[in-house]
Amino acid sequence: MTLVQLRHFVVLAELGTFVQASKALYLTQPALTRSIQGLEDELGGRLFDRLGRRIALTPFGHEVLQRARRLVSDAEALKQTGKGLHAGLIGTLRVGLSSAPGALLSTPLMLHMAEHHPRLQLQISRGHTELLVHELRAQHLDAAIVDVRSLRPAADLTVAQVFELDAGFLVRADHPLALRGRPVGLADILACPVASTPLSDEVARLLINRYGPQANPDDMVTLRCDETMNIVEVARHSDAIVLTVNAVAGDLVRLDVSPALDATARFGLVTLSQRQEAPALRILREQLPLWVERFVAPHVA
């Protein structure tokens, strides 16, 4: 018994004649007859009574028809589900976002899915780079967008769609240092609380080379948190200086520091090299450059 035979049976039962059913199925009448006879032989009973050119379902045929319709319908639904999954229109997409990407991308990503792919289940996980990479390797995530400077090179990871965003020392607009009207030095910054998410070794070296050993984040940063928006909120309501991506806080202003910091944060989309990608990941790949364009001075690689 095959789904093709069951579909032949359902169409024949609905149309009532071999002539009409064979035309609808694009089969010859002998081929349709052989298909129905094969199904009857396998089921062990007649499905139709032949009444001249017309046919009528037997009591056994009526019982089989209900189940055949369900099977054919389920098979068609499964086929459409497969197409939808392959197209990324349904299913699940699990994305990890580190601190700044989470602050910048969580809302655009959820809005896009809600508006354009309402049947797709989106799961966003937040955390630092090391944790998200661990979850990716455990196949609890389909992809992660993280600080690639904090990412250790590994053969099992693929990094793509790398982009850079300007970063600096940010304060509220009425902060005493912002009102000075002249560049501030490291001593001025150290006189205030400094807030930051965990910084990569590369950024730490940049700070030390630019401002000296006192700029080592281990000593300079007094308020450290994995969530960017938490430290931004602290800067909005205190004299704290936050070292982060400019784009995460449009209401804060960038301090004019001497020498200039000229720093960027570098993020990228990370996936497992040997794992087949989730179909819905193509949506994220397509939209990511468009979202990045909205941010301040992006440089997509």
In a domain, 277, yes or no: yes
Report the pLDDT averaged over residues 205-231.
94
Same domain, 80 and 97: no
Two structure tokens written together for 88: 């990324």
Report the pLDDT averaged over residues 145-167.
93
Last residue of a domain, which of 71, 87, 103? 87
> How much is the pLDDT for 87?
65
In a domain, 298, yes or no: no
pLDDT in tens, 14-65: 888 888 989 998 999 999 999 999 998 998 989 988 877 788 899 998 889 8
DSSP string, 180-198: SSS-B-HHHHHTS-EEE--
Contact 166, 297 (CB under 8 A): yes
- How much of the chain exceeds pLDDT 70, in percent? 94
Domain CATH for 81: 1.10.10.10
What is the pLDDT confidence band of residue 190, given thresholds at 50, 70 and 90? very high
Same domain, 114 and 127: yes
> How much is the pLDDT for 99?
92
pLDDT at 259 over 80: yes
Same domain, 78 and 7: yes
To the nearest whole number, what is the mean pLDDT of the chain? 89
In a domain, 42, yes or no: yes
| Helix ranges, the chain (H) | 3-15, 18-25, 29-43, 59-87, 99-116, 129-137, 186-190, 201-211, 217-220, 228-236, 281-292
In a domain, 293, yes or no: no
Same domain, 133 and 278: yes
Domain CATH for 218: 3.40.190.290
> How much is the pLDDT for 85?
63
> How much is the pLDDT for 66?
84
Under 8 Å CB-to-CB from 131, ≥6 apart: which residues? Answer: none
> How much is the pLDDT for 301?
40
Which pTM does this prediction carry? 0.71
Two structure tokens written together for 39: 């199904």
Amino acid at 283: I
Same domain, 65 and 116: no
Contact 25, 72 (CB under 8 A): no
Range of the domain at 76: 3-87
What is the pLDDT confidence band of residue 262, given thresholds at 50, 70 and 90? confident
Number of folded domains that form the chain: 3
Same domain, 138 and 276: yes
Contact 278, 137 (CB under 8 A): no
Last residue of a domain, which of 42, 65, 87? 87
Amino acid at 217: P
Report the pLDDT averaged over residues 160-178.
95
In a domain, 206, yes or no: yes
